[in-house]
A and B are shown apart, each in its own frame.
Chain A
Amino acid sequence: MGTTVTDTAETEPPVSDDRPGESAVGIRGITKRFGDVVAVDDISLDIANGEFFALLGPSGCGKTTTLRMIAGLEFPTEGSLTIFGQEVGTLPPNKRPVNTVFQNYALFPHLDINDNVGFGLKMKKVKKQEIASRVDEALAMVRLTHMGKRRPTQLSGGQQQRIALARALVNRPKVLLLDEPLGALDLKLRQEMQSELKSLQRELGITFVFVTHDQEEALTMSDRIAVMDRGQLLQVDPPEAIYERPANRFVADFIGQTNLLEGTVQDATTVCLLNGARIPLESGLAVGTQVAVILRPERATIEPRDAATAGRSSVDGVIRSITYLGNAIVYRVGLDWMELDVREENRPDSHRLDVGEDVVVSWDDRAVAVVSE
C-alpha cells in the first residue's frame, strides 16, 4: 500500500482561493432523524481544506446520511453545517459548491457522455464553447477522451465510474463527495481507481469526502478517517492512529483483524489478562478497569512450545486450524479461555506448524494497545 499520511497543512490547494486553515466542511452537533430512527446522532466534525477524508463504518452507521446532508440531499434535523464558512443547513443541493459521485453513478441514460459531463455547466449557464472545452478537459483527466458521443449504457462499469467522476469534477467543486464510488468495481479495477483517485485529489487540491464500508480502502486513500457506528462518531484520526491506537473496541475490531484479549488494569504499568497472566502495559487507566488488549494477528509470533524464545509476553495454546492465504498463513490458536489468530508471512524459511501442535504465541510489548470501552 505504502500510503504516506500527509499532514493536511502541507497540501496547499493550488486552485482554491479560500483562506488556508479554514475548514472546508464544518459539522456542529448535527442530528438526523427519520421518524423515530436516529440516523446521525449529534456529531461534530471539521474537514480541512484539501483533505482526503473518509467516513467509514458498517452499513446503517449514518455515514451516507452524513454525506447526503453535506450534499444537500437530506437536511439535518438539528445542528449547523457550514461549507467554507457558509451556513448551508437547508440550502438546496443546486445552491451548494459541492458535487457528488454517486454509488451507482446515476449517469443520465438519455444523454450522451458529453452532455452528461457538461450537465452541471449547462445548468450554470456557462457558454457553449467553454462547456465543450471543459468537458474535453475533464474526459482527458479520466482518460476517456473519445467516448463523448456514446451513451452511458455502452460503457463498462469502470468507465461509467470515471465519467461520474468527470461529471462532478468538471464543475470545479470546492468539495467533492464520493458515496462508495468503488463499491461496484471488481478488485483489480478498484485498486487501480484507488490510486487514481488519490493522485487526482493531490493534483487538484480539492477536498474529497469519501464514504466507504471498506476499511482497507479507507486506510489506503485517506488523510483522515472518521469511524462511525449507529449514528455516532467513534474516532477521527489519520489512518495510522486509527489502526495503532483505536479509541475503543468497535474501532479496534472494525479496522483490520484483531485479537481482543480481555483483562483488568492491575497497576499503572501492568494489565492482568483473564487467564491470570500479567503483561507490562501502560494503559493510563484507573486500577481495576475492564480492558481489552489489542493484539493484531501480524504482530504476534507463533513458535512450537519446546522451541519458544523466553523473555517476551506470551500465552500458551494449541493450533486449532490453519488458513492458507498465499502470501501468508493464519493460525487459529486455541487458548483455554479464548481463541486468537496469528498471521505469519509465507516466507520460504518460515517453519510450518500443524493442527494440534502445542505452541506459544508471543509479542513485543510495544506491539499491543489497550482499549477500555
Chain B
Amino acid sequence: MTIAEAPAPPPEAVDDEPIVEVAAATPEFERAAAKAESRRGFLIALPAYGYLVLFFAIPLVIVAIYSFGTRNRFGDTELSGWNLDAYRKLTEPLLRDILFRSLWLAILTTVICLVVAYPFAYFLATRTPTIRNIMLVFVMIPFWSNFLVRNFAWRVILGTDGPLSTATSAVGLGDTRILFTPTAVVLGLVYGFLPFMILPLYAAIERIDLGLVEASRDLYASGWQTFRRVLLPLSMPGVIAGSILVFIPSLGAYVTPEILGGAKSTLLGSYIVTQFLTARNWPVGASLSFTLTVIMLFATILYFRKGGRTL
C-alpha cells in the first residue's frame, strides 16, 4: 500500500487565503500533507521496525557471515578467510538425505493438515456465529498448554504400553509401534500445526458469499464441481496462507522430531542444533540455517504474489 493518493489539504490551512491563491497552491499543500502523513506512518511503525532490525535482521546478517567462515581445530570459527566450504558440505549425501527427508515430512504434514482442515473450516464458516465462536475456542485450546508438554503427551499416548497400543491389541490388531518413527513425527507435527491451517482457511472461506455456492449449484455444478470451480479458487488465499504457516515451521521443526522421532531419522532442525552445540561446526549450522531462511523467503514471496493476484 502506498500513500500516493494524498488526502486533501487540511481546510484550516487554506481558510484565510484568497481563493485564487488557494487554487494555485493546492499541489504544494497536498505534497506537504502526504509528506506529513507518511512521516506519521513511519513513526507509528518505528517500534516494530526497530525490534525486527535489532533481533531479526542483524542476527540474520551474523548468521550469513558465519556461514562463510571456517571451523578451526578448536571448534571456533575463523571469519578471516571467506569461503564456500560450508555450503559445499550441504551437497554431501548425508545432508542431502536430511534435507529431502525434512522437505518430504514438511510437505506431507502440510497436505494432511490441508485435507483435514478444509472441511472443518468450511463447516465452521457455515455455522451460526455462536457455534462458530465456541468451536474456534476449541481450536485454540491446545495453545493454552505448553508445546513441549503436549508433545510429551503424544509420547505417552503412542508409547509401547500407551493407550493406543493397548487399544489396538485389545481389538486384536496387535501392538502399534509408531513412536520414534517418521509417522509419529508427522502425527505430532499435524497435531501441533493444524490450528495454523484452520484459522486462515476459516477466515478465507468465511469471506466467500455462500450465494456463489448456490449460484454454482443452480448452474448445474455438482457438489464436487462447486468446490473445484468456485469454493477452492475463492479460498486460495487461505489455502496458501495456511500452507505456508504449516510448511515453514514443519521444515525447521525441532521439538517434535526430537521427542517423537527416532535417532535414525534426523531432521534439519535437530541437525542444525547438533552442528552448533555438539559438533561445534558453526559455519555448517549457519549455512544450513541461512539456506532454510532463503527457501522460506521464496515460499513467502510466492505466497504474496499468488495471494495478491487472487484477492
Binding site for B on A (CB under 8 A): 71-73, 92-94, 98-100, 102, 104, 106-110, 119-120, 123-124, 167, 171
Contact = CB atoms under 8 A, between A and B. Distances in A.
B209 A104 contact: yes
A93 B234 contact: no
Contact of B233 (A93, A110, A119, A124): A110
A171 B219 contact: yes
Nearest to B215: A106
Contact of B214 (A102, A109, A119, A167): A102
Interface in B214-243: 214-222, 225, 229-230, 233-234
Most buried by A among B211, B217, B218, B221: B218
29 contacts: A72-B217, A72-B218, A73-B214, A73-B217, A92-B222, A93-B214, A93-B218, A94-B217, A94-B220, A94-B221, A94-B222, A98-B218, A99-B218, A99-B219, A100-B214, A100-B215, A100-B218, A102-B215, A104-B211, A106-B211, A108-B215, A108-B230, A109-B212, A119-B219, A119-B229, A120-B219, A123-B222, A167-B219, A171-B219
A174 to B, nearest CB: 13
A99 to B, nearest CB: 6
A95 to B, nearest CB: 8
A179 to B, nearest CB: 10
Contacts of B222: 92, 94, 123
A194 to B, nearest CB: 23
Nearest to B210: A106
A123 B211 contact: no
Nearest to B310: A110
Nearest to A117: B219
B211 A124 contact: no
A93 B230 CA distance: 16
Given A99-B218, A123-B220, 17 more contacts: A72-B218, A73-B214, A93-B214, A94-B219, A98-B218, A99-B219, A100-B214, A102-B214, A108-B212, A108-B216, A108-B230, A109-B234, A110-B230, A119-B219, A120-B219, A124-B220, A167-B219
A99 B220 CA distance: 9
Contacts of A171: 219-220
Contacts of B217: 72-73, 92-94
Contacts of A99: 218-219
A124 B219 CA distance: 9
Given A92-B217, A93-B217, A106-B209, A123 B230 contact: no
A107 B222 CA distance: 18
Interface of B: 209, 211-212, 214-222, 225, 229-230, 233-234, 310
Contacts of B216: 108, 119
B232 to A, nearest CB: 10
A284 B214 CA distance: 48
A116 to B, nearest CB: 9
Contacts of B218: 71-73, 93-94, 98-100
Contact of A106 (B212, B221, B229): B212
Query: Closest 5 A-B residue pairs measured CB to CB?
Result: A120-B219, A106-B215, A123-B220, A106-B211, A93-B217
A99 B219 CA distance: 7
B108 to A, nearest CB: 29
Contacts, number: 60
B219 to A, nearest CB: 4
Contacts of B219: 94, 99, 119-120, 123, 167, 171
A171 B219 CA distance: 8
A151 B206 CA distance: 22
A334 B229 CA distance: 63
Contacts of A106: 209, 211-212, 214-215
B212 to A, nearest CB: 5
A7 B225 CA distance: 41
Contacts of A108: 212, 215-216, 230
A73 B212 CA distance: 12
B256 to A, nearest CB: 36
Nearest to B211: A106
Most buried by A among B212, B217, B219: B219
B84 to A, nearest CB: 45
Nearest to B222: A94
Contact of B225 (A72, A104, A109, A123): A123
Contacts of A98: 218
Contacts of A109: 212, 234
A341 B215 CA distance: 44
A93 to B, nearest CB: 4
Contacts of A71: 218
A102 B213 CA distance: 12
Nearest to B233: A110
Contacts of B209: 104, 106
A73 B216 CA distance: 11
Contacts of A100: 214-215, 218
A123 B221 CA distance: 6
B222 to A, nearest CB: 6
A108 B229 CA distance: 10
Contacts of A94: 217-222
Contact of B221 (A72, A102, A107, A119): A119
Given A108-B230, A110-B233, A110-B234, A120 B220 contact: yes
A322 B32 CA distance: 55
Contacts of A92: 217, 222
A120 B216 CA distance: 8
B237 to A, nearest CB: 11
Contacts of A104: 209, 211
B92 to A, nearest CB: 46
A133 to B, nearest CB: 18
A119 B218 CA distance: 10
A45 B94 CA distance: 77
Contacts of B310: 110
